[in-house]
Structure 1
């Protein structure tokens, strides 16, 4: 009976449409931002580690 009311009710259709219209772009934005941020952080970690290894080699070759 509940599904039958959902099919006919304009209010229910609007609520569902608006929830989807809000949540889908928001979710997509969060996912894209998270992927981009983790990529940037990973690149930064690799560069920092490479720099530290270079500095350690340089120090050990001096002494």
Structure 2
């Protein structure tokens, strides 16, 4: 599976924050290749935090 395919599939699964993390950290030329476990951990954390932030932003917009 190619890198672009992985990013596309993550976005199809509505995991866009994880896709952005993967693209930024896995493809960064200055970043040494990180372990699979660290990569997945980072992707999941980024997705959770991104969704949380989106939720807060939507709530604040409705309150404003």
TM-score range, shorter chain: 0.3 to 0.5
TM-score of the pair, normalised by structure 1: 0.48
TM-score of the pair, normalised by structure 2: 0.47
Larger Rg belongs to:
1
Bigger relative contact order, structure 1 or 2, given CA contacts below 8 A and separation 6+?
2
